[in-house]
């Protein structure tokens, strides 16, 4: 069967389904092709299930610390299968929500695996999609515009391939039936440190091995140092500047492996190992060889409006690389759809995309790190304010961390905001808005922040840029 439409979207993850909804709002006839479940990585193997586990872990850890709040709780017990059931119930509810949104917007969802085809009897241009359905039948979707949103999968380190028992990727870790006694985490990026935080809170002995000189290498050095200090103080073992030797892995009762730390070789052992060394774009076996769509370093090349090197074919989300975040994928989807509809959207600029890490304490940032700002030649000034001087943080019993604001010393523009501490992922929105509206630190400080709230820290850190903070 052949289906013609205005927009076809290959991949129904966060990028794909949000793009579909925006296209439907703009009056387009839309078809989504999804081989697995609508919602993609974020809903089924990423953001949502991992945050559900993190919340259970945080609550468990806090209950053990309840005495400091004057509450004596005895018999607090972790029932991990129930933690997993709760996680699945949340995922299922949201999955139902995405399916409902597709029906509400009259978006046709084709369940099957798609491959882009070249010029053919269906269309003189490349960009039609041949879809293999579950029953082996074929369908061809012929769109005026195609958006590729095929996402990514865990990057595999040769020698450390996931085996489902000893060596896990985040996909397998999310569906563990029971917790191991100890876990070696290879890779201290966002996924690695989130797992370190949650496993430790569940009582698992955790070691994190990171080849770079700091955890969460893309983040501001000061923030990363503070995160490492707090994780280590909580009892997590962190080895930065340490590269695992993949062919040294031995599996028996547990896993052992050697790692290089400068000239030294260290021996590591744990019951299981989680490999979290980044994500690889799904660009193979989707028919790109039938098109002139360009690829660079394993990711689809796009311009600021998400057009590939074939202007009627767009690509969004993890398959184009960059920040590889769900909200980046959905924003890119909206930019692509508005552009192909002639709406003239602002081009996508990753500097305005917030980045969040859901460890305990959380990390959130937007814009340039101090190092990046200096490398770009800006003359900068910074303001910093600690959570220990914020009343609400003391009330919550979470006074570690700080907020740092980096501003351009000449123009007063905000270049970056970096936060570590309680609930900062819910507060980065203020900094994102301030940055996009070109607010100065003084203007952020002039906005009255309610007392007592955690958000007072943003006003204080902004005022600290010019030595005007009043709370310290």
Do 209 and 224 touch, CB atoms closer than 8 A?
Answer: no
Closest to ligand FAD by CB, 184 vs 407, is 184
- Determine the Cα–Cα distance for residues 53 and 30; give it in Å rounded to an integer: 35
Stretch that binds ligand FAD, among 1-9, 12-20, 95-103, 230-238 (CB under 6 A): 12-20
User: Does 451 participate in catalysis according to the annotation?
Assistant: yes
Closest to ligand FAD by CB, 300 vs 405, is 300
Taking CB under 6 A as the rule, does residue 329 contact ligand FAD? yes
Binding residue (CB under 6 A) for ligand FAD from 56, 170, 207, 440: 170
Taking CB under 6 A as the rule, does residue 113 contact ligand FAD? yes
Binding residue (CB under 6 A) for ligand FAD from 5, 7, 8, 12: 12
Taking CB under 6 A as the rule, does residue 180 contact ligand FAD? no
Taking CB under 6 A as the rule, does residue 188 contact ligand FAD? no
CB of 70 to ligand FAD, least distance (A): 33
Taking CB under 6 A as the rule, does residue 127 contact ligand FAD? no
The full 3-state SS of the chain, as one line of letters, equals CEEEEEEEEECCEHHHHHHHHHHHHCCCCEEEEECCCCEHHHHHHCHHHHHHHHHHHHHHHHHHCHHHHCCCCCCCCCCHHHHHHHHHHHHHHHHHHHHHHHHHCCCEEEEEEEEEECCCCCCCCCCEEEEEECCCCEEEEEEEEEEECCCEEECCCCCCCCCCCCEECHHHHCCCCCCCCEEEEECCCHHHHHHHHHHHHCCCEEEEECCCCCCCCCCCHHHHHHHHHHHHHHCCEEECCCEECHHHCEECCCEEEEEEECCEEEEEEECEEEECCCEEECCCCCCHHHCCCCEECCEECCCCCCECCCCCEEECHHHHCCCCCHHHHHHHHHHHHHHHCCCCCCCCCHHHCCEEECCCCEEEEEECCHHHHHHCCCCEEEEEEEHHHCHHHHHHCCCCCEEEEEEECCCCCEEEEEEEECCHHHCHHHHHHHHHCCCCHHHHHHCCCCCCCCCHHHHHHHHHCCCCCCCC
Taking CB under 6 A as the rule, does residue 114 contact ligand FAD? yes
Binding residue (CB under 6 A) for ligand FAD from 30, 107, 168, 191: 191
Site for ligand FAD in 266-285 (CB under 6 A): 282
CB of 321 to ligand FAD, least distance (A): 10
Stretch that binds ligand FAD, among 181-189, 316-324, 335-343, 363-371 (CB under 6 A): 316-324
Binding residue (CB under 6 A) for ligand FAD from 53, 98, 141, 149: 149
Site for ligand FAD in 338-397 (CB under 6 A): 358
Binding residue (CB under 6 A) for ligand FAD from 21, 22, 24, 50: 50
Binding residue (CB under 6 A) for ligand FAD from 7, 9, 16, 366: 16
Nearby residues of 105 by Cβ (< 8 Å), 6 or more positions away: 20, 21, 24, 25, 30
Taking CB under 6 A as the rule, does residue 463 contact ligand FAD? no
Taking CB under 6 A as the rule, does residue 290 contact ligand FAD? no
Closest to ligand FAD by CB, 390 vs 424, is 424
The one catalytic residue among 145, 339, 449, 451: 451
- Determine the Cα–Cα distance for residues 216 and 399; give it in Å rounded to an integer: 21
Tokens 């993190």 -> residue: 54
Alpha carbon 6 to chain centroid, angstroms: 30
Closest to ligand FAD by CB, 14 vs 182, is 14
Taking CB under 6 A as the rule, does residue 151 contact ligand FAD? yes
Taking CB under 6 A as the rule, does residue 455 contact ligand FAD? no
Beta bridge pairs of residue 405: 383, 417
Taking CB under 6 A as the rule, does residue 150 contact ligand FAD? yes
Taking CB under 6 A as the rule, does residue 36 contact ligand FAD? yes
Closest to ligand FAD by CB, 112 vs 416, is 112
Nearby residues of 78 by Cβ (< 8 Å), 6 or more positions away: 60, 202, 203
Stretch that binds ligand FAD, among 6-14, 52-60, 400-408, 443-451 (CB under 6 A): 6-14
- Using CB under 6 A as the binding criterion, the count of chain residues that bind ligand FAD stands at 36
The CA–CA distances, whole Å, from 447 to 83, 460, 461 equal: 41, 11, 13
Stretch that binds ligand FAD, among 28-36, 243-251, 443-451, 460-468 (CB under 6 A): 28-36
Taking CB under 6 A as the rule, does residue 143 contact ligand FAD? no
CB of 329 to ligand FAD, least distance (A): 4
Closest to ligand FAD by CB, 130 vs 268, is 130
Catalytic residues: 451
Interacting residues with ligand FAD (CB under 6 A): 10-16, 33-36, 40-42, 45-47, 50, 113-114, 149-152, 170, 191, 282, 286, 317-318, 324-327, 329, 358
């Amino acid at each position: 069967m052949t289906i013609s439409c205005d927009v076809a979207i290959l991949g129904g993850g966060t990028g794909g389904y949000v793009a579909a909804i925006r296209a439907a709002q703009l009056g387009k006839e839309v078809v989504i092709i999804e081989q697995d479940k609508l919602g993609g990585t974020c809903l089924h193997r990423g953001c949502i299930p991992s945050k559900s586990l993190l919340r259970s872990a945080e609550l468990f850890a806090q209950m053990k610390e309840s005495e400091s709040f004057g509450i004596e709780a005895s018999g607090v017990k972790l029932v991990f299968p129930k933690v997993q059931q709760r996680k699945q119930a949340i995922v299922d509810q949201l999955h139902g929500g995405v399916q409902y949104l597709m029906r509400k917007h009259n978006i046709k969802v084709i369940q099957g695996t798609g491959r882009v085809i070249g010029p053919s009897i269906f269309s003189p241009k490349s960009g039609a999609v041949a879809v293999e359905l579950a029953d082996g039948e074929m369908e061809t979707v012929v769109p005026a515009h195609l958006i590729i949103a095929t996402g990514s999968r865990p990057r595999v380190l040769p020698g450390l391939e996931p085996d489902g028992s000893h060596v896990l990727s985040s996909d397998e870790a999310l569906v563990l039936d029971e917790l191991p006694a100890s876990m070696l985490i290879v890779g201290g990026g966002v996924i690695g440190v989130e797992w370190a935080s949650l496993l430790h809170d569940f009582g698992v002995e955790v070691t994190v091995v990171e080849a770079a000189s700091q955890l969460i290498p893309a983040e501001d050095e000061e923030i990363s140092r503070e995160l490492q200090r707090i994780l280590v103080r909580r009892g997590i073992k962190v080895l930065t500047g340490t590269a695992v030797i993949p062919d040294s892995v031995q599996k028996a009762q547990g896993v052992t492996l050697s790692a290089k730390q400068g000239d030294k070789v260290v021996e590591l052992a744990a019951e299981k190992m989680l490999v979290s060394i980044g994500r690889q774009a799904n660009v193979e076996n989707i028919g790109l060889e039938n098109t002139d769509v360009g690829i660079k370093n394993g990711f689809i090349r796009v311009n600021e409006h998400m057009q590939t090197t074939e202007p009627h074919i767009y690509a969004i989300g993890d398959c184009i690389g960059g920040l590889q975040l769900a909200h980046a994928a959905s924003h890119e989807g909206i930019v692509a759809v508005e552009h192909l509809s002639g709406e003239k959207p602002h081009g996508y600029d990753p500097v305005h995309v917030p980045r969040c890490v859901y460890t305990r304490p959380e990390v959130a940032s937007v814009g340039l790190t101090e190092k990046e700002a200096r490398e770009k030649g800006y003359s900068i000034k910074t303001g910093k304010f600690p959570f220990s001087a914020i009343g609400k943080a003391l009330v919550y019993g979470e006074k570690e961390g700080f907020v740092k604001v980096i501003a351009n010393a000449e123009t007063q523009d905000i270049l970056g905001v970096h936060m570590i501490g309680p609930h900062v992922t819910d507060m980065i929105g203020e900094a994102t808005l301030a940055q996009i509206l070109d607010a100065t630190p003084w203007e952020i400080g002039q906005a009255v922040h309610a007392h007592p709230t955690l958000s007072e820290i943003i006003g204080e850190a902004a005022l600290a840029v010019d030595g005007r903070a009043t709370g310290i």
